[in-house]
Amino acid sequence: MPEFPVEADISRAETISKRFYTDPEAYERSKSAIFARSWQFLADEGVVKVPGQVFPTTMLEGCLDEPVLLTRDMADEVHLVSNVCTHRGNLVCEGAGNERFLRCRYHGKRFGLDGKFVSMPEFEGADGFPSPTDDLPGIALGRWGPFLFGSLDPVCPLDEWLAPMIERVGWLSLHLFTFAPELARDYMIRANWALYVDNYLEGFHIPFIHADLNAVIDYENYAVERFRYLNLQLAVAKGAEDVFDLPVASPDAGKAISAYYFWIFPNLMFNFYPWGLSINVVRPLAHNLTKVSFLPYVWDASKLDRGAGSALDRVEREDEAVVESVQRGLHSRFYDRGRFSPKREPGTHHFHLLLSEFMG
């Protein structure tokens, strides 16, 4: 039996045990059981735009904390490799820039931009050297449009992981989306990461928590669609303004869609608005502390601050307050599990099923 059982039938199901949110040991195990096996957003391809560019980063900083390196070699191929030298574990690349090869400054070991071993001083006479273990280990790299993802131990290819989203909004001109760092925000939340995701995955709270958002979307027609590793909340506008100009081939053609809210298991949100895209990365820092990064990519700046895609900072702060309140409430001796609204909480139920599956 799974350690965190969740009934598959939402009409009978109870939420996952509160221990998942409050137990430091469960949080530590989730790093390997959940986050290492999923796809994580790294950056857009602009960080390695031309041959020779290198971009060191940390995969899911604060949680997985895996030092990785994006490179584009002289054959114009993009690679994702470990950024840890196979000699003594020093970081190989300590800053973004342009290089013709990688060189560890500790003892001079060299690697190609694809991570393959090139040379090492003072190793004459070392038996069986070099061997494949002297290469920088390659890490699974996936791409959708300009967006780059990595996974330490993926359960399936990225194309399969994201397939329903790609099919639904693949008509968007993603390469025209431009990162707007001046609009990016980080939020620190004193709560477990999964509570934040729980809240994101249901529109049930919108009339109670988000008055401004509720004023522009049609709550009664707010729909949730579930897929294998992601789900979609489809927000229909109350009026005909501030909506997508959909192609006739879209399954949503004829609807006044104001937002596509895609959640990607376990901790990514791709929120598409008529102005562009907000990628939300939920970064667990502890069992009771979370950092959420909003990364905006603008397509049509004239539509910013309108419709469902406006006042995102206020919506986030409203969500933050209620999620922190839930974290405090979970310490009660009188609460362990709740029930799901079959109409309004299928997205959260889907999340809990996946948590149970991966932790099991």
What confidence score (pLDDT) does residue 222 get? 79
Ranges of residues in the chain whose predicted pLDDT is under 50:
none
Give every strand in the sheet of 117-119, ordered side by side: 102-103, 110-111, 117-119
pLDDT digits 0-9 by tens, 89-133: 999 999 999 999 999 999 999 999 999 999 999 999 999 999 999
Place of tokens 């820039």: 97
* Residue-wise pLDDT tens digits, 32-47: 999 999 999 999 999 9
Q: What is the pLDDT of residue 214?
A: 60
* Sign of the four-CA dihedral 352, 354, 359, 360: positive
Q: What are phi and psi of 163, to 5 degrees?
A: -50, -50
CATH number for the 159-359 domain, one of 3.30.1330.10, 3.40.1280.10, 1.10.10.10, 3.90.380.10?
3.90.380.10
Residues 6 or more apart whose Cβ sits within 8 Å of residue 110? 101, 102, 103, 104, 117, 118, 119, 120
Domain(s) labelled CATH 3.90.380.10 in the chain stretch across 159-359
Percent of the chain clearing pLDDT 70 (strictly above): 95
* Closest residue by Cα to residue 229 from 166, 308, 282: 166
Alpha helices in the chain (DSSP H): 19-22, 24-30, 158-169, 193-200, 206-209, 211-216, 312-329, 346-359
CATH number belonging to domain 40-151: 2.102.10.10
Distance of CA 291 to the CA centre of its chain: 12
Task: List the structure tokens of 212.
Answer: 């401004």
pTM for this one?
Answer: 0.94
E-assigned strand segments in 91-201: 97-98, 102-103, 110-111, 117-119, 140-144, 147-151, 178-179, 185-189
**Residue 325, pLDDT score:** 92
**Are 46 and 65 a contacting pair, CB within 8 Å?**
no
The DSSP call for residue 33 is I
**Residue 94's CB: how many other CB atoms inside 10 A?**
11
Closest among 85, 86, 32, 88 to 60, alpha carbons compared:
32
> Any idea of the CA torsion for 127, 129, 133, 135, to the nearest 10 degrees?
170
- Alpha carbon 39 to its chain centroid, in Å, reads 7
Distance, in Å, from the CA atom of 317 to the CA atom of 28, rounded to the nearest integer, reads 27
Where does the chain hold its CATH 2.102.10.10 domain(s)?
40-151
Which residues does 172 contact at the CB level (< 8 Å), separation at least 6? 272, 299
> Are 263 and 269 contacting, i.e. CB atoms less than 8 angstroms apart?
yes
